[in-house]
A and B are shown apart, each in its own frame.
Chain A
């Protein structure tokens, strides 16, 4: 049987015509509005309370809509956006260093290796400047200079300083800003907050998204909730790899369930592997911790020239060290983009020159920076990161070089959305990391926070009106056949998990699945490896449904049961990721195909054949169906990315 079939291309992305600078204005003008007095009659469900979901729910509440917000954590303030360290990009050009909306747009399209939609990315760059204004007004304590103005830094290889930051905790501060705005609306009565609730299915009525099935994680009660539109802001799916920098609870269930109900899933194989994470210390490892990319501004990456050199770092003389990023990429050096830095680390480790346990690590050395800037200056810049590193590894980066290794960090793929951020199910909108829209095949540093807040504060609240202003919103109740069916399917699935009573834990399956994905669908993918992965995933999934053991009952807080549902969905996603990676025989961005490289080992894109978004339709018992959205580049010329 074929692994997939091909369906009709996607004809319309709803992006307006005309010069790119005017498209967002055009769309806002043409979008229908909802009369302020009528807004309270329109209800919107928002799933997830990270930067995108929190800011969307708050803004829709301020606009006067009736909002119902859901999160699985005990408080909306805990969503994993909180862990973002580095910063947020905006084309303010406060540094007068040649930045502009157009340059941010250009850098983002190029950085994404030409696999994103120009119209969306341009809008993102335009909106970026408003985000900073909004956050400052809310009291986000960005880093400032002595004159009282905002500080900026260059980040992730950008040649302008456009990154705004709050020490190494930018995500936390931005999220708390959105959270506080959200809680203000909870107090105002426009937002109903449902924490410790997990969405387990989407309810589609007459072809439109009209509600969700949720489980109260404390009481176990399964209920249905209804609205005129549903917004998914449920984040990315990096945890399919088991080990990632995501929070333990991050999962694909909300978007995967919507996919099964008809929403196309775009570019699932585009995952970002971040070069600077703390290496795994053993089999017990439950997650990986990111060290901010800003460390590469002053740290130098190296490995010994000799394979399997047993000496500790400080006994290896200068001329026996290979500063491989500086050697291979002289113009960008240690600041090459993430995908390139990650793959270079993998290559030197594959050669047997890796350091630390299992040879899976490279050094990130601050000795030169300390000599050049002084201990105090390095301390002021990176003190909190050094402390974090020492807490986890027991080693002091002031004395010995850090050891780092790449880890799964972000997923560029996600549910397919049009220019309005609407999925292929009318009334289902998708924002933030959960959608596929703006980063193409590779996301630039400090752009995730920008996109989450752009979608939530400024884009969605302006496009969802157009949907809510039209259409028939006949009330739906829990007796509706679509609701009854969705709910009983959820109940049936939970009962099935609890009744298997096998001999393996959910985590043991998850760990094994993650290993398959990392080995065959990680930093380098090949035809042979991906075909093998698909076989392994199918076999393991079959075993999961036969041998998993989920203790306890469905009637109270049961964390193993929560995990079982998430892992079951990861199994299905994992197969689609491998099929997507297999069909895309080019290398681009975070997707490196062993068969497609230049003579000197760099990624070789195939614009002739792959300049499209791969949007997959759920096939049920049949293989998935590929729908292509052709990408055209009117403003940014296709070039091979070169950082040499």
Chain B
């Protein structure tokens, strides 16, 4: 199939960007979206142009490095699918596809489609962990964990930190990302001692990084490639309120 691409080109963080139109021909429906961009980049290189910079690594939907707003949707039109796992069979011959970077105050553009997501790491640094220095652990069976809790913790822990939730949110909020970690650790017995401090510190780091607040729009969950439940934000709010009250007491 033949396609028209309109891609955001921006040379650096301080420079102005713009949409640039490209044609790609003979795209196979079995190609992944990123393989289609690889093909474009090969052509650009041989033509003496600079290839389009985009983040990617594992190309199997788990590292969270790929991004891209595709026709205004984070990770494109398929539900529960990262850009690297999106295949061209979901597009039609003659389509025009708009490709843009994540746009959020907390994710400044580095170049073209590449953004800086280090703000997510700072949220984790603020408390997204259980303090268990190496060697200090009791036997793994010392504390049984009800299967339902372990399963729910796992579900939240599958977040890949890609940032689609932020890109899709009208407020540029990182609440689903933060809530996923608060939920994962807060559901486990090992996570209880630091539970109050964790949620307060992570929320402060979230706000400091320039993420917006949550207004329950729910777009984050819709685009999340791992389907992190929206209810985890409710859990975060409850934990936050409880922690605020117990600390102020």
Contacts and interface: CB of A to CB of B under 8 A. Distances in A.
Contact of B140 (A136, A193, A505, A507): A136
A59 B135 CA distance: 9
Interface stretch (B28-36, B207-215, B216-224): B28-36
25 contacts: A73-B65, A74-B55, A79-B63, A82-B63, A134-B132, A139-B130, A141-B157, A149-B144, A167-B154, A172-B62, A181-B132, A183-B121, A184-B125, A249-B57, A284-B38, A285-B35, A286-B59, A289-B59, A290-B60, A391-B81, A391-B85, A505-B42, A552-B51, A557-B110, A559-B53
A150 B188 CA distance: 14
Interface string B35-79: 100110110111011110101111111111100000000000010
Interface string A171-191: 011001001110110110000
A557 B139 contact: no
Interface of B: 11-12, 28, 30-32, 34-35, 38-39, 41-42, 44-46, 48-51, 53, 55-65, 78, 81, 85, 87, 89, 110-111, 114, 116-118, 120-121, 124-126, 128-141, 143-147, 150-151, 153-154, 157-158, 160-161, 184-185, 188, 190-191
Given A75-B118, A247-B57, A247-B59, A137 B190 contact: yes
Contacts of A92: 140
A387 to B, nearest CB: 8
B58 A247 contact: yes
B140 A150 contact: yes
A31 to B, nearest CB: 15
Contact of A148 (B50, B56, B145, B190): B145
Contacts of B154: 141, 143, 166-167, 173
Contacts of A142: 150
A543 to B, nearest CB: 16
Nearest to A92: B140
Given A82-B58, A247-B63, 9 more contacts: A62-B134, A74-B65, A134-B132, A134-B134, A134-B135, A139-B185, A187-B126, A195-B118, A551-B45
10 closest A-B pairs by CB: A148-B144, A137-B137, A180-B129, A137-B132, A141-B154, A133-B137, A187-B125, A281-B30, A136-B140, A247-B57
Given A392-B87, A557-B114, A83 B144 contact: no
Nearest to A504: B46
A195 B125 CA distance: 15
A181 B145 CA distance: 21
Interface residues of A, number: 81
Nearest to B59: A287
Contacts of A549: 45-46
Nearest to B129: A180
Nearest to A187: B125
B157 A176 contact: yes
Contacts of A508: 42
A75 B48 CA distance: 31
Nearest to A285: B35
B32 to A, nearest CB: 7
Nearest to B80: A387
Contact of B145 (A133, A144, A458, A505): A144
Given A78-B57, A148-B144, A458-B134, A286 B38 contact: yes
Contacts of B117: 74-75
B63 A78 contact: yes
Contacts of A457: 134-135
Contacts of A137: 130, 132, 136-138, 190
Contacts of B139: 133
A94 interface: yes
Contacts of A144: 144-147, 150-151
Q: Which of A130, A134, A176, A218 has the most CB of B within 10 A?
A: A176
Contact of A80 (B57, B81, B146): B57
Contact of A172 (B38, B53, B158): B158
Nearest to B55: A74
B184 A147 contact: no
Contacts of B44: 551
Interface in A41-93: 55, 58-59, 62, 73-80, 82-83, 92
